[in-house]
């Protein structure tokens, strides 16, 4: 289904069931800035808006902007949205949130961030009472890291050494959380920091030379945009790999474990809805993702000579055969 048909279907669903949709302020046309690069996630966000009663082309205008792996363009993108005087900005990722925070203290910002500690980064005062103009959904990285390492240990017999690839400009809180989780379960980490795409292959090669038995891929735009290259070099060196994103397992990584991103974008739409109806972002508690998904690629397991325990397979939400 193309996007025009998708939006038409959503709009019709609201019109067909007016009692299910929330009433909007009479005559109000909301202008929403949305920094979403992935079409599927953008459509999940739109679906959430429509379910809340905000229909693009009727009572809402969506100003969609995004950059792909070009961090230096983020401030200009954010400045454009601020200049349009949007009512609220959906800011995805730490670079966008930081730029939006610097660009405006008055326009509400709904952050959707898998990489930052929102309190440690200064985005919010506390999770329960953010203060300021930022709220949203932020990942609990320590819990995620612990689960990922445990799943790897269940799948790889005798796992003791793991490489972790991270983007140095975006992933420091993630790295610290992963290091802490590794210490708890007795795994030695080899941190592989990268800043550019061309550094990815040498980083994974360093892990292989250091006798890493598996690879953890942290989240960042740079790493997500180069998932195929990461999976290819990991397969070349026979490194079982886990990432938060299902797209990595689809590309051939052994496993993916992380939050459901479409669900996060639908939840972000509820924040936007509350703000458009008068709620103050500083009074809306920060959420943690509630739905996590485990994907196991059995084809990759076979190639790596691994037998996935039945107990781990039973926990999987998706198995690629």
| pLDDT by 10s per residue, the chain, length 321 | 455 555 545 545 444 434 344 555 556 899 999 999 889 999 999 999 999 999 999 999 999 999 876 678 899 999 999 999 999 999 998 889 999 999 999 999 999 998 888 998 899 999 999 999 999 999 887 788 889 999 999 999 999 999 999 998 776 888 888 999 999 999 999 999 999 999 999 999 999 999 999 999 998 888 888 999 999 999 999 999 999 999 999 999 999 999 999 999 999 999 999 999 999 999 999 999 988 999 999 999 999 999 999 999 999 999 999
Q: What pLDDT does 173 receive?
A: 81
Q: What pLDDT does 72 receive?
A: 82
Q: What is the pLDDT of residues 231-243, one digit of tens each?
A: 999 999 999 999 9
Among candidate residues 222, 242, 225, 237, the one with its CA nearest the CA of residue 292? 242
CA distance 260 to 99: 25
Among candidate residues 156, 136, 149, 157, the one with its CA nearest the CA of residue 218? 149
Convert 218-228 to b/e letters by CB count within 10 Å (16 or more is b).
Answer: bbbbbbbebbe
Q: Which residues pair with 191 in a beta bridge?
A: 164
First to last CA, the chain: 26
Q: What pLDDT does 18 receive?
A: 41
CA distances for 98 relative to 104, 155, 207, angstroms: 10, 38, 32
Q: What pLDDT does 15 receive?
A: 42
pTM recorded for the entire structure: 0.85
Contact 65, 11 (CB under 8 A): no
CA distance 99 to 40: 24
Q: What pLDDT does 209 receive?
A: 94
Strands, sheet with 109-113, edge to edge from the N-terminal-most edge strand? 60-64, 30-34, 88-92, 109-113, 134-138
CA distance 134 to 149: 31
Contact 250, 320 (CB under 8 A): yes
Domains, the chain, ordered by start: 3-138+260-290 (3.40.50.2300), 141-258+293-320 (3.40.50.2300)
């Amino acid at each position: 289904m193309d996007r025009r048909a998708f939006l038409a279907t959503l709009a019709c669903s609201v019109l067909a069931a007016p009692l299910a949709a929330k009433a909007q302020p009479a005559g109000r046309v909301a202008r929403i800035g949305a920094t979403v690069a992935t079409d599927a996630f953008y459509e999940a966000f739109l679906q959430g808006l429509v379910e809340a009663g905000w229909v693009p082309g009727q009572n809402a205008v969506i100003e969609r902007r995004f950059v792909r792996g070009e961090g230096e363009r983020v401030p200009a993108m954010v400045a454009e949205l601020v200049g349009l005087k949007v009512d609220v900005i959906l800011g995805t990722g730490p670079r966008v949130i930081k730029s939006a925070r610097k660009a405006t203290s008055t326009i509400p910002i709904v952050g959707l961030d898998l990489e930052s500690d929102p309190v440690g980064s200064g985005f919010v005062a506390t999770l329960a009472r953010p203060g300021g103009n930022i709220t949203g959904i932020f990942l609990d990285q320590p819990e995620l890291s612990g689960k990922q390492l445990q799943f790897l240990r269940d799948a790889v017999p005798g796992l003791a050494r793991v490489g972790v690839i991270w983007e140095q400009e975006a992933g420091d809180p993630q790295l610290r959380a992963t290091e802490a989780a590794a210490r708890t379960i007795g795994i030695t980490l080899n941190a592989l920091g990268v800043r550019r795409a061309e550094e990815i292959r040498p980083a994974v090669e360093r892990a292989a030379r250091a006798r890493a038995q598996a690879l953890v891929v942290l989240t960042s735009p740079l790493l997500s945009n180069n998932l195929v290259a990461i999976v290819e070099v990991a397969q070349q060196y026979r490194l079982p790999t886990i990432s938060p994103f299902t797209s990595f397992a689809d590309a051939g990584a052994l496993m993916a474990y992380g939050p459901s991103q479409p669900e996060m974008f639908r939840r972000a739409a509820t924040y936007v809805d509350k703000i458009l109806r008068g709620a103050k972002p500083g009074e809306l508690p920060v959420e943690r993702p509630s739905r996590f998904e485990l994907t196991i690629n059995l084809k990759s397991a076979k190639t790596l000579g691994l037998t996935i325990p039945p107990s781990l397979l039973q926990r999987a939400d998706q198995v690629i055969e």
